[in-house]
Amino acid sequence: GMGGALLGVGLLFALYTLLRHGLRRVPLPCARPELRGRTAIVTGGSGGIGAATALELARCGARVVLATRSAARGEATASRIRRETGNQEVRFMQLDLASLRSVRAFASTFLRQEPHLHLLINNAGVNTGGTTEDGFSLPFQVNHLGHFLLTQLLLERLQSCGPSRVVIVASSAHCAGCLHLDTLGKPPPGPLSAFQDYCNSKLANMLHARELATRLQDTQVTCYAVHPGFVNTGLFRHLPLWLKLLFIPLAWLFFSDVAEGAQTTLHCATHEDLERFSGRYFTDCRLQEPWPPARDDRLARALWEASERMVGLGEPPESPSL
């Protein structure tokens, strides 16, 4: 049926991408940018690519805020990074992107406690199904809506500290995404609901970066979408067993380690002279054309307006006429 066909396409696509990207190792950058005096937020910074990104930013001298859900893991990672880098300016602040209330609380605490913000790394991601306390599908809210609200709440601070950057960790999985404005934020139907939802949320990430860049023209803030590569992180831990058995040997063969997975994020966060590429998509530290739906400006704008309504920003809704 439809599910099997979709799965076949998904696996073929995964193999194609693995062969295309996985066999090409990203060279580690030799020069470390000087980031002393700059403040960065990394969401999902307690593990995987987020922790690798935070570690490298701390090595460059940045003040780094790990914005993550688990206090135990967040504190442990912050102290490990302080120990490994000798940079004491690494701290944990609680953020649960599955709760818009938590996003607002994080933003107001951050703005009260931290005078500067130069880098916002929207890295956290989930690929499991489920529904949030706000009534949206889990991957759509964590991967897109929560980050959308977070970015809007921190935008003034980013602008006043410019030049500053927003890096949105998307994925080449955006190619399988499709967004229907009338069912936005609801889990898609079918046996591969969570997989489809993940792809949809990654398309939303791409469109967010594109529309954000349009709205930030003539400001000191630029933004970039990145595909981190297929990285051996915990993202795949919830796959059904038979898919794991298929994926794990491939993962050993092809997937990058997390340090390599962080390279494109770091490139877009720190590389000089990327301003003219604001809103664009990078993979393997290089500019890449995204799939056509991710270049649809009308969809990007419609998604932006819908996202504003969903998180309670923007125009107040019109009162219904009696």
Which residues carry out catalysis? 198
Strands 221-227 and 164-169: parallel
Structure tokens at 77: 């990672």
Helix, strand or coil, per DSSP, at residue 178: coil
Helix axis angle for 146-160 and 193-215, nearest 10°, is 20
Q: What percentage of the chain's residues is helix, strand, coil (to nearest 5)?
A: 50, 15, 35
Rounded Cα gap, residues 116 and 277, in angstroms: 24
Enumerate residues 6+ apart whose C-beta is below 8 A from 95.
43, 67, 68, 69, 102, 103, 106, 150
Residue 49 parent element (H or E) = helix 48-59
Give helix 71-85 / helix 48-59 axis angle, nearest 10°.
30
Structure tokens at 210: 């594109």
